[in-house]
Chain A
């Protein structure tokens, strides 16, 4: 019971320290809030160790049970350790640099690029004229796609209509979305501060 209230008060206070100085100009408070943010950033960095602990625990659990393909988990744990060893040799050159450019950067850009494929298959599936909504979807999508292909621009000027669609419909949807989210977030934030959602603090509602 006590811990629950303590947590709520701590949350509320740290919220105020960060939130209020943004609206009221008191330099001392401002400095304090910046310091608090840095303190929490350091705290977050520490919690990484918890995550790593559980990642290794999960890995060793696989090794113990030896299900199909457990060797991949062993490989994963070895690569973590390898990367840490690499880092000891310096960050700008040597094996660490190699791992960055041979593994992390290409795989990150590939994973990002795969999205184009997912969008293509989504498009093939969803862009069918089933009802008014999807007809509108297809229509604007179609025009935009034509406009965006750089080659089209060399023949017909779809610029005015493409920019029109992006700067009116696209803009309005963005604006509507931001307003809606902000309103929702504000109300939700206040409900958290009032302790209506203790679950997000890791506290059971019945406690």
Chain B
């Protein structure tokens, strides 16, 4: 509980202070613009998926990325395909995704170009959804496939098909075995926190980017705890383990 309150305070502090620390380039996120640009040149659509889960942080992160991608696509006149469905909790995410894409068209001043049929619902079953996405990939041959969000085992079907149809693939894996295979299959991969931090990273607002600092602070704490804990444990005391268990 203490940890939660502390992290809350630190994030709030950094959001308010808005200091711009150095932020390392994340290749996968930088590549989004390039991928959309290339699709525009080739006159091909872009596929952007948001996963098959309900509102967990993977899906929410995907929605922030979708916001960015759809805005970019509309600006460059690229058709954007957002397949939805696939899971028991995914239905509630669909209206939000619709809203995001619709808003992108609205903000660019051409709401009449919005095509609701480009957000197909492919049932609530994981592999029916996958079959559908693979089919769309093969038929529409997009120039880029940005697969983020709560994807599970089906991630490889989507990523490898996207590679085979010649799309630039930007992916993120929700668990480590998925990350390992996606790292081999796709052009760019968002590992670990790169996906949840995408919203802050892509935002132009320095205050948002400053929040990335907090993540490093907590990773620093965890490294310190592991090293200190191991040191003390080696000396024979289990103080840190008890501290963490309390």
Contacts and interface: CB of A to CB of B under 8 A. Distances in A.
16 contacts: A44-B89, A51-B85, A51-B121, A58-B117, A111-B157, A115-B157, A118-B185, A121-B160, A127-B184, A177-B191, A184-B194, A187-B7, A191-B11, A199-B100, A199-B103, A200-B60
A176 B11 CA distance: 22
Interface of B: 1, 4, 7-8, 11-12, 15, 54-55, 57, 60-61, 63-64, 67, 84-85, 88-89, 91-92, 94-96, 99-100, 103, 106-107, 116-117, 119-121, 124-128, 130-131, 153-154, 156-157, 159-161, 164, 175-176, 179-181, 184-185, 191-197, 199-200, 208, 211-212, 214-215, 218-219, 222
Contacts of B191: 177, 180
A114 B157 contact: yes
Nearest to B160: A118
A162 to B, nearest CB: 16
A61 B121 contact: no
A54 B192 contact: no
Given A184-B195, A186-B7, A200 B181 contact: no
B131 A187 contact: no
Contact of A47 (B91, B154, B211): B91
A192 interface: yes
A188 interface: yes
Contact of A112 (B88, B127, B196): B127
Contact of A115 (B61, B99, B153): B153
Q: Which range holds the interface residue count of chain A?
A: 35 or more
Interface string A172-207: 011011111101111111111010110111101010
Closest 4 A-B residue pairs measured CB to CB?
A184-B193, A180-B192, A202-B99, A118-B160
Contacts of B116: 54, 57-58
A107 B127 contact: yes
Contacts of B124: 48, 51
Interface of A: 23-24, 43-45, 47-48, 50-52, 54-55, 57-58, 61-62, 104, 107-108, 111-112, 114-115, 118-119, 121-123, 125-127, 137, 170, 173-174, 176-181, 183-192, 194, 196-197, 199-202, 204, 206
A191 B200 contact: yes
Contact of A188 (B60, B96, B156, B192): B60
A123 to B, nearest CB: 7
Contacts of A123: 184
A118 B156 contact: yes
Contacts of A199: 63-64, 67, 100, 103
A122 B160 contact: yes
Contacts of A119: 156, 160, 181
B91 A111 contact: no
B127 A126 contact: no
A62 B120 CA distance: 12
A115 B159 CA distance: 11
A197 to B, nearest CB: 5
B137 to A, nearest CB: 12
A62 B1 CA distance: 53
Contacts of B117: 57-58, 61-62
B129 to A, nearest CB: 10
A51 to B, nearest CB: 4
